[in-house]
């Protein structure tokens, strides 16, 4: 995390552009500029700024937005809802697509089902989330009245409107992720199908469905779960772009806006939170991993 903090801090400042000048306009009075820089603490040497920021971070203070003066955490909390909803539903959609089609195409290898599903997965991997979003708006959003193409309805205004407002962006985010996972599921299941224990299971007289789902599935999921955590970045990256397409005020929009305005504390805070979520998700994945793979046990044992 410290590494992330450091990289974000310096990368943000390496980008050309001066927040004070952006706020006051191109032909601002030099004295006013200096005064504003003084106020924002931008006139101090970089390392001083860095350590000040770090010290405040340790006490849980993410600072205030340069532009609005609001606390960074507060503005993040305001827009977190849509982002979390879209990302979560997107992952659910991805898994619901990836696991069954991955299994299907491994079982029907080199048959029509396999070609169809790998082709769809290939599209998913090749198309960026925001483009899928645009296509979805054009094809479904415009033709189906009950599904809005724009904006977000919070969940406390009803589950159904909430769900309808995020289904398209979630699909746009989930599809590329699902494509990646499906291909992993397929190759991992193909490997499992050749394992000796699958032959043993058939030699026990189990039906082919039982062999596949009782003996195969869990083994095939092990590598998929690992990579699902790593490729979570695809979802998070997708959400940022998709929010713009669907005009949803989420963390992604906030981030893009703050980068455009060189709102250093807000950029830093947002990136930090996103990377924190990423790390957290990977911890969850690791815990899940120990559940499905009995060969891995953390914390000793006998």
- The least distance separating other proteins from the CB of residue 205, rounded to whole angstroms, comes to 4
**CA–CA separation, 60 and 53 (whole Å):** 11
- List the interface residues with other proteins, window 163-202 (CB under 8 A): 195-197, 199-202
Out of 206, 233, 256, 285, the residue judged to bind other proteins by CB under 8 A: 206
* Type and span of the H or E element at 58: helix 46-58
Nearer to other proteins, 55 or 204 (CB): 204
End-to-end CA gap in the chain: 33
Out of 145, 209, 298, 299, the residue judged to bind other proteins by CB under 8 A: 209
**CA–CA separation, 265 and 177 (whole Å):** 30
Tokens of 224: 């998929």
| Cα angle: 286, vertex 79, 18; to 5 degrees | 100
204 contacts other proteins (rule: CB under 8 A): yes
**CA–CA separation, 124 and 126 (whole Å):** 6
- The least distance separating other proteins from the CB of residue 293, rounded to whole angstroms, comes to 7
Tell me, rounded to whole angstroms, the distance of Cα 79 from its chain centroid: 15
Q: Which of these ranges, 52-60, 69-77, 171-179, 211-219, lies near other proteins under the rule CB under 8 A?
A: 211-219
- The least distance separating other proteins from the CB of residue 224, rounded to whole angstroms, comes to 14
Q: Which of these ranges, 38-46, 90-98, 258-266, 292-300, lies near other proteins under the rule CB under 8 A?
A: 292-300
Structure letter (DSSP) for residue 157: G
Out of 34, 214, 276, 287, the residue judged to bind other proteins by CB under 8 A: 214
Nearer to other proteins, 58 or 203 (CB): 203
Helix (H, G, I), strand (E, B) or coil at 60: coil
* Interface with other proteins (CB under 8 A): 195-197, 199-207, 209-210, 213-215, 218-219, 222, 292-295
């Amino acid at each position: 995390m410290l590494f992330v903090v450091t990289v974000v801090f310096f990368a943000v400042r390496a980008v050309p552009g001066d927040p004070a000048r952006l706020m006051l306009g191109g032909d601002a009075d030099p004295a006013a500029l200096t005064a504003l820089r003084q106020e924002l603490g931008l006139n101090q040497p970089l390392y001083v700024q860095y350590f000040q920021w770090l010290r405040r971070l340790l006490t849980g203070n993410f600072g205030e937005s340069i532009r609005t003066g609001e606390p960074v955490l507060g503005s993040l909390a305001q827009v977190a809802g849509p982002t979390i909803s879209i990302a979560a539903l997107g992952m659910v959609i991805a898994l619901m697509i990836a696991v069954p089609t991955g299994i299907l195409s491994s079982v029907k290898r080199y048959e029509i089902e396999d070609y169809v599903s790998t082709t769809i997965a290939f599209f998913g991997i090749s198309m960026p989330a925001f483009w899928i979003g645009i296509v979805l708006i054009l094809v479904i959003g415009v033709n189906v009245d009950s599904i809005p193409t724009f904006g977000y309805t919070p969940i406390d205004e009803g589950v159904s409107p909430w769900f309808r407002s995020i289904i398209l962006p979630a699909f746009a985010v989930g599809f590329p992720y699902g494509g990646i996972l499906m291909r992993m599921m397929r190759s991992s299941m193909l490997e499992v199908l050749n394992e000796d224990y699958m032959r043993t299971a058939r030699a026990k007289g189990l039906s082919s469905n039982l062999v596949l789902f009782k003996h195969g599935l869990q083994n095939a999921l092990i590598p998929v779960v690992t990579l699902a955590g790593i490729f979570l970045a695809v979802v998070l990256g997708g959400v940022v772009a998709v929010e713009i397409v669907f005009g949803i005020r989420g963390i992604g929009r906030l981030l893009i806006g703050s980068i455009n305005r060189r709102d250093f504390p807000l950029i830093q805070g947002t990136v930090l939170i996103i990377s924190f979520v990423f790390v957290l998700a990977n911890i969850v994945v690791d815990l899940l991993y120990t559940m499905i793979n009995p060969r891995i046990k953390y914390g000793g044992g006998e």
